[in-house]
Amino acid sequence: MAEDLVKIEGEKAIIYAGLFPQIQALVGDESDAVANFANVAAALKEAFGFFWVGFYLVKNDELVLGPFQGPVACTRIQRGRGVCGESWDKAETLVVDDVETFPGHIACSSLSKSEIVVPLIRNGEVIGVLDVDSDEIATFDEVDALHLNQLCSWLVTVI
Ligand code: SME
């Protein structure tokens, strides 16, 4: 069992490690935020088959839906509300194993079971979040948190 877990976590890390240079090449010298967010969402969805991958961007003190891949989603989220709003408010990555146990979780789809939200922080300010949803319980862990944080830290430097 422990061996299986190590193997699975290792495989996930390998996929992230291979994906990051691909995304960097894909972005190249493009600086348009919408274009880059759209391709990053598509690349993550394609590599892992996640249920929903997308960005919410801070506009007029709200999170507004940005480029995403997956089913239609809620368009606006208030600061502190749901997993995305709390990640924004705390400027922290949140990993939720079971969305039904997260107080105030915003259910854009009843099929979403677990979630990770990573803030996009530029010059100390949260400018948006990356939200990734799974249709299985407990999909995300510290491996996802580490690699998605690295991805987002880099992304804010190129947009
Ligand atoms: N579940 C999120 C809302 C966004 S959707 O999952 C795409 C939340 O609680 O913030």
Ligand 1: residue of 64, 84, 86 to mutate (most ligand atoms within 8 A of CB) is 84
Q: Is the CB of 77 under 6 A from ligand 1?
A: yes
Look up the CATH number of the domain holding residue 130.
3.30.450.40
Domain that holds residue 115: 2-158
Is any atom of ligand 1 closer than 6 Å to the C-beta of 68? no
Q: What is the pTM of this model?
A: 0.94
CA atoms of 116 and 120, how far apart (whole Å)? 13
Query: How many other β-carbons are positioned within 10 Å of the β-carbon of residue 143?
Result: 16
Sheet of strand 62-69, all strands in order from the earlier edge strand to the far edge: 76-78, 62-69, 52-59, 125-134, 114-122, 94-96
Return the exposure string of 78-115: e unless at least 16 CB atoms fall within 10 Å of the residue's CB, then b: eeebbbbbbbbeeeebbbbeebeebeebbebeeebbbb
pLDDT at 21 over 70: yes
Indicate if the pLDDT at residue 78 is higher than 50: yes
Nearest to 143 by CA among 68, 103, 85, 93: 93
pLDDT digits (tens, 9 = 90+) for 92-129: 999 999 999 999 999 999 999 999 999 999 999 999 99
**Ligand 1 pocket mutation pick from 74, 75, 105, 129 by most atoms within 8 angstroms of CB:** 74
Q: pLDDT tier at 10 (50, 70, 90 boundaries)?
A: confident
- Measured in Å, residue 4 CA sits from the centre of ligand 1 at 30
- Quote the number of domains for the chain: 1
Question: What is the residue with the minimal CA distance to atom 2 of ligand 1?
Answer: 106
What CA–CA distance (Å, rounded) separates 153 from 121?
Answer: 7
Q: Read off the pLDDT of residues 24-61 as tens digits, 9 standing for 90 and up.
A: 999 999 999 999 999 999 999 999 999 999 999 999 99
pLDDT score, position 44: 98
- Indicate whether 1 pLDDT > 70: no
**Mean residue pLDDT across the chain:** 94
Query: What distance in angstroms lies between residue 108's CA and the mean position of ligand 1's atoms?
Result: 6
Q: Kind and range of the H or E element at 63? A: strand 62-69
